[in-house]
C-alpha cells in the first residue's frame, strides 16, 4: 500500500481516540475551554447520559466570526504561539485538538459572539474534508457548543459506551472536580432537563459553601486545613480527620488543573502511611502551586498527568507537608485495644554520655518478657472480631502451617493461627523495638524537607545541648533556633514517618536516665495504625523464640462451646 496523507476526518478520528474516551471527556474539554475564555458562568446540559446531546454554554469572551473556521481545525489554538509558551503553560487547554476531534465523531455545532459583534455565528464541520460552514444565529455574548449523537459514525466506539446512568455518573463526578478547581465560576449541570448540580460562584475567601456542596457536610465537619510553602512550592487545601471506606473524596490539582498523577498519589499514600487501617482511605482536597516552567503538562493527550522537573523535591514536599498536618489531628489515634497488655517496667538506671556504648537493654534486642494472660472479657472482645472472618470453630480448623496470619484488628493487633493455637500479637511494641534496634546498629540521618521548630522545656533544651554529639551520631540534627525552641533538621531514618513533635521532647526529658527505655516509652505513646504488609513484616522479622514470647494465646474453645 503506498504512503498517503490521511483525509482530515480520518486523522481527526484517530486523534479523537486519545482525547475523546467517553461523554465525560467531551464535557471536560469543552468546560476547560470555557474557563480559559474567561467565563464566570457555565451551563452543562446532558441528554441520555451524553449519548444524544452534550451542550456547554458560557458567558466568556466568545470567538470572532473569522476565527470560527480555525477553531474547528486541528492544532489551532489561542493559548500558545511559541516554544516558550509551551514551556510555561498556565491555561487548561493548549493542544488545539479538542474541537476538531469531537467534531469528527459527532454532529457538532459551535455558536459564538464576541462583545463588540453585532451578530452571532454558528460553525459546523461536515464531509470527508471537514469543511466548515458558517451561518448567522441568535446568541448572547459567549459561546455554546452542542455535540449531538456522539460516535454516530464510529459504531465500534459507540458500542463500548456504558449505560446512560453510568455515563452520567462520570460526567457528574467531572463537574464536581471542576467545581473545586474554580470556585469563582458558577456551574449548572442538567440531565434530561432536570437540574442535578448547581454551584453558585463564590467571592472572597468563603469557600465552605462550595466545599460542603461538593464533598458533603460530613467531610466539612472533620476538616483540617493546611497551607505549607517551601521555596516556590505551595501546598494548601483540606484533609479530613475521618477516614472513609471508599476513595471517593480524593481531589488534587496542580496549578488549577485536575490531576491523577502517579507521583502525587504515591506521595499522598506515603503521608497517610499507617494512619489508615486496611480497607480505609483518606479524604482530601489539595492544591499544589509551583512555577509553570517547573512542570510539564504536555505529557498525556487528556492532560491527566504531568512531569515535574524536580520530581523528588515535589514528592517529598507533598508527603512531608501532608504528614505534618495529619500528625496534628486525631487521625491515627488508636481505639481501645482488644487486649490489655501492660508492659513490665524496670527500674530506671543512671545514665550518662560515656555509658551510651553499654549493651542494649533486653527489650531493645527482642528479648521479651511474658505478659499476663488475658481475662475472659478481653477474650470475648477478641472473639467478636474473630467471628467476622472465622466461619467455623477454631478447634475444627486444619492448621496448614506453623504461622498463618488471619486478621488485623484496629490496625494494631495481628491475629494468627500459630502452631495450632489462636494468638494475638501487639504490633506497637514490636515496631518500637525494631526502630530502637536499628538506631543501636547505627541508622542514617534523614533530612526533613521542612525543618520542625519545637517549643521545649528548659530541662529538655539542656539535655539536647549536653548530649548533642551522641544525638547527632544517632541521626538527629538539632539547633537552638531561639530561646525555648529547638529546630529539628534531620531525624533517624527509622523514625522519619513519625511525628517528631510527639516522640522527641519526652525522649530528651529522660536522657539522663536510660535512653532506650525513654525512647521506647515515647514510641509506645504514639498513636499508630499498621497496614497488613507492615504487620506481616514485623511478625516475620522476629526470630522463633521472640515470636513465642510476643504471641498471646487466646483460648476460644470454652467461649465457642457456650455460644
pLDDT of residue 550 exceeding 80, the answer is: no
Least reliable range by pLDDT among 132-146, 244-258, 392-406 = 392-406
| Minimum mean pLDDT range among 110-119, 152-161, 375-384 | 375-384
Instruction: Check residue 392 and report its DSSP letter.
Output: S
| Domain endpoint, select from 170, 199, 228 | 199
* Section 84-102 average pLDDT: 76
Check which CATH number belongs to the domain holding 534 and give it. 3.30.1370.100
Query: How confident is residue 351, by pLDDT bands cut at 50, 70 and 90?
Result: very low
Kindly state the average pLDDT of the residues 208-219. 89
- List CB contacts of 469: < 8 A, sequence separation 6 or more: 353
Mean pLDDT of 32-46: 94
Task: Tell which residue, 112, 117, 18, has the closest CA to residue 71.
Answer: 112
Q: Is the pLDDT of residue 483 over 70?
A: yes
pLDDT at 395: 42
The whole-number pLDDT of residue 521 equals 78
Q: Which of 197, 254, 187, 205 is closest to 35 using CA atoms?
A: 187
Q: Tell whether the model's pLDDT for residue 438 goes beyond 90.
A: no
pLDDT > 50? residue 356 = no
| Predicted pLDDT of residue 378 | 53
Name the more confident of 410 and 330: 410
One domain, residues 250 and 154: no
What is the residue-averaged pLDDT of the chain? 77
pLDDT of residue 221: 86
- Are residues 172 and 220 located together in one domain of the fold? no
Question: Is pLDDT above 90 for 20?
Answer: no
Question: What is the average pLDDT across 454-477?
Answer: 80
Residue 100 located in a structural domain:
yes
User: What pLDDT does residue 452 have?
Assistant: 76
Per-residue confidence (pLDDT) for residue 361, from 0 to 100:
37
| Helices 262-272, 311-327: crossing angle, 10 deg rounding | 30
The reply to whether 383 and 524 lie within a common domain is yes
Report pLDDT for 309: 87
Handedness of CA 28, 34, 39, 41 (dihedral sign): negative
Where among 327, 346, 380 does a domain terminate? 327
Mean pLDDT of 72-91: 74
Give yes or no: residues 393 and 448 share one domain: yes
- DSSP letter at 21 equals S
| pLDDT at position 44 | 97
Residue 485 lies inside a defined structural domain of this protein = yes
Integer Cα distance of 171 and 188 in angstroms: 12
Of the given ranges (46-60, 64-78, 344-358, 448-462), which has the lowest mean pLDDT? 344-358
295 and 166, same domain (yes or no): no
Same domain, 235 and 177: no
Q: What is the mean pLDDT of residues 530-550?
A: 76
pLDDT of residue 118 exceeding 80: yes
Asked if residue 282 and residue 184 are part of one domain, the reply reads no
Query: Is the pLDDT score of 74 beyond 80?
Result: no
Say whether pLDDT at 19 is over 50.
Answer: yes
Range scoring the smallest mean pLDDT among 261-265, 279-283, 299-303, 485-489? 299-303
Predicted confidence (pLDDT) at residue 336 exceeds the cutoff of 50: no
- In 181-272, where do the E strands start and end? 186-191, 194-199, 223-230, 233-240, 250-254, 257-258
| Mean pLDDT value across residues 210-214 | 91
Task: Examine the pLDDT at 165 and tell me if it is beyond 70.
Answer: yes
At residue 408, the pLDDT reads 78
Residue range 429-435: average pLDDT? 80
Read off the pLDDT band of 51 (50, 70, 90).
very high
164 and 15, same structural domain?
yes
pLDDT of amino acid 15: 62
In this structure, are residues 74 and 103 in contact, taking their beta carbons and an 8 Å threshold? no
How far is the CA of 493 from the CAs of 205, 436, 445, in angstroms?
A: 39, 11, 6
pLDDT greater at residue 78 or residue 347: 78
- CB neighbourhood size of 312 (10 A): 10
Confidence bin at 58 (pLDDT 50/70/90): very high
Residues 303 and 364 occupy one common structural domain:
no
* pLDDT greater than 60 at residue 36: yes
pLDDT score at 235: 93
Do 253 and 110 reside in the same domain of the chain?
A: no
Q: Are residues 82 and 146 in the same domain?
A: yes
Question: What is the rounded average pLDDT of the residues 408-416?
Answer: 77
* Domain count within the chain: 3
In a domain, 368, yes or no: yes
Judge whether 432 and 526 are in contact, CB under 8 Å.
Answer: no
**3-class state of residue 156 by DSSP:** helix
Average pLDDT over residues 458-473: 80
Percent of the chain topping pLDDT 70: 78
In a domain, 334, yes or no: no
Please check whether residue 233 lies inside any domain of the structure. Answer: yes
pLDDT of res. 140: 95
Residue 465 has pLDDT above 60, yes or no: yes
Residue 411 has pLDDT above 90, yes or no: no
CA distance 185 to 31: 11
Please determine, for residue 187, whether its predicted confidence score (pLDDT) is greater than 90.
yes
Tell whether 341 is covered by a domain: no
Asked if 363 and 500 sit in the same domain, the reply is: yes
Q: Is the per-residue pLDDT at 352 higher than 70?
A: no
Q: Give the CATH number of the domain where residue 66 resides.
A: 3.30.565.10
CATH number at residue 314: 3.30.230.10
Asked, for residue 123, whether it belongs to a domain, the answer is: yes
Q: Which domain holds residue 461?
A: 354-549
According to DSSP, residue 275 is labeled G
Q: What is each CA distance from 117 to 72, 137, 144, 239, 416, in whole angstroms?
A: 20, 12, 16, 47, 76
Question: How high is the pLDDT of residue 338?
Answer: 35
On whether residue 132 sits in a domain, the answer given is yes
Strand stretches in 4-52, DSSP E = 41-47
| pLDDT at position 362 | 36
Amino acid at each position: 500500500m503506498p504512503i498517503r496523507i490521511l483525509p482530515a476526518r480520518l486523522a481527526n478520528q484517530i486523534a479523537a481516540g486519545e482525547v475523546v474516551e467517553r461523554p465525560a471527556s467531551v464535557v471536560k474539554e469543552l468546560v476547560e475551554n470555557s474557563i480559559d475564555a474567561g467565563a464566570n458562568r457555565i451551563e452543562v446540559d446532558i441528554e441520555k447520559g451524553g449519548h444524544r446531546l452534550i451542550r456547554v454554554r458560557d458567558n466568556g469572551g466568545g470567538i470572532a466570526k473569522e476565527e470560527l473556521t480555525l477553531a474547528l481545525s486541528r492544532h489551532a489554538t489561542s493559548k500558545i504561539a511559541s516554544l516558550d509558551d509551551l514551556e510555561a503553560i498556565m491555561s487548561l487547554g493548549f493542544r488545539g485538538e479538542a474541537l476538531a476531534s469531537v467534531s469528527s465523531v459527532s454532529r457538532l455545532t459551535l455558536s459564538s459572539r464576541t462583545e463588540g459583534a453585532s451578530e452571532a455565528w454558528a460553525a459546523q464541520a461536515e464531509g470527508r474534508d471537514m469543511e466548515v460552514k458558517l451561518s448567522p444565529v441568535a446568541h448572547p455574548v459567549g459561546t455554546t457548543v452542542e455535540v449531538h449523537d456522539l460516535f454516530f459514525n464510529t459504531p465500534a466506539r459507540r458500542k463500548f459506551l456504558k449505560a446512560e446512568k453510568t455515563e452520567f455518573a462520570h460526567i457528574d463526578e467531572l463537574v464536581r472536580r471542576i467545581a473545586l478547581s474554580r470556585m469563582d465560576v458558577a456551574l449548572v449541570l442538567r440531565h434530561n432537563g432536570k437540574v442535578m448540580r448547581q454551584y453558585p460562584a463564590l467571592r472572597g475567601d468563603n469557600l465552605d459553601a462550595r466545599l460542603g456542596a461538593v464533598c458533603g457536610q460530613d467531610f466539612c465537619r472533620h476538616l483540617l486545613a493546611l497551607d505549607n510553602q517551601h521555596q516556590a512550592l505551595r501546598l494548601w487545601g483540606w484533609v479530613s480527620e475521618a477516614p472513609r471506606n471508599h476513595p471517593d473524596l480524593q481531589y488534587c490539582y496542580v496549578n488549577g488543573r485536575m490531576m491523577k498523577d502517579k507521583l502525587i498519589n504515591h506521595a499522598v499514600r506515603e503521608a497517610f502511611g499507617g494512619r489508615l487501617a486496611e480497607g480505609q482511605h483518606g479524604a482530601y482536597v489539595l492544591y499544589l502551586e509551583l512555577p509553570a516552567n517547573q512542570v510539564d503538562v504536555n505529557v498525556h493527550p487528556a492532560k491527566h498527568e504531568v512531569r515535574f522537573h524536580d520530581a523528588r523535591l515535589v514528592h517529598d514536599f507533598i508527603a512531608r507537608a501532608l504528614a505534618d498536618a495529619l500528625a496534628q489531628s486525631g487521625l491515627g489515634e488508636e481505639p481501645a485495644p482488644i487486649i490489655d497488655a501492660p508492659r513490665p517496667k524496670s527500674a530506671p538506671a543512671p545514665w550518662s554520655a560515656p555509658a551510651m556504648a553499654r549493651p542494649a537493654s533486653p527489650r531493645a534486642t527482642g528479648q521479651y518478657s511474658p505478659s499476663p494472660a488475658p481475662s475472659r472479657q478481653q477474650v470475648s472482645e477478641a472473639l467478636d472480631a474473630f467471628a467476622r472472618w472465622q466461619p467455623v470453630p477454631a478447634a475444627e480448623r486444619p492448621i496448614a502451617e506453623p504461622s498463618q496470619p488471619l486478621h488485623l484488628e484496629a490496625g494494631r493487633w495481628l491475629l494468627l493461627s500459630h502452631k495450632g493455637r489462636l494468638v494475638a500479637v501487639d504490633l506497637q511494641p514490636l515496631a518500637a523495638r525494631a526502630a530502637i534496634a536499628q538506631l543501636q546498629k547505627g541508622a542514617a540521618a534523614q533530612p526533613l524537607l521542612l525543618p520542625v521548630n519545637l517549643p521545649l522545656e528548659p530541662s529538655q533544651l539542656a539535655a539536647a545541648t549536653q548530649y548533642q554529639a551522641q544525638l547527632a551520631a544517632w541521626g538527629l540534627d538539632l539547633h537552638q533556633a531561639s530561646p525555648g525552641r529547638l529546630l529539628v533538621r534531620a531525624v533517624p531514618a527509622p523514625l522519619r514517618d513519625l511525628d517528631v513533635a510527639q516522640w522527641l521532647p519526652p525522649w530528651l526529658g529522660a536522657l539522663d536516665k536510660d535512653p532506650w527505655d525513654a525512647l521506647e516509652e515515647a514510641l509506645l505513646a504514639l498513636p499508630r495504625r499498621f497496614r497488613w504488609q507492615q504487620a506481616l513484616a514485623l511478625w516475620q522479622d522476629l526470630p522463633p523464640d521472640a515470636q513465642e514470647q510476643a504471641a498471646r494465646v487466646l483460648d476460644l474453645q470454652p467461649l465457642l462451646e457456650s455460644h
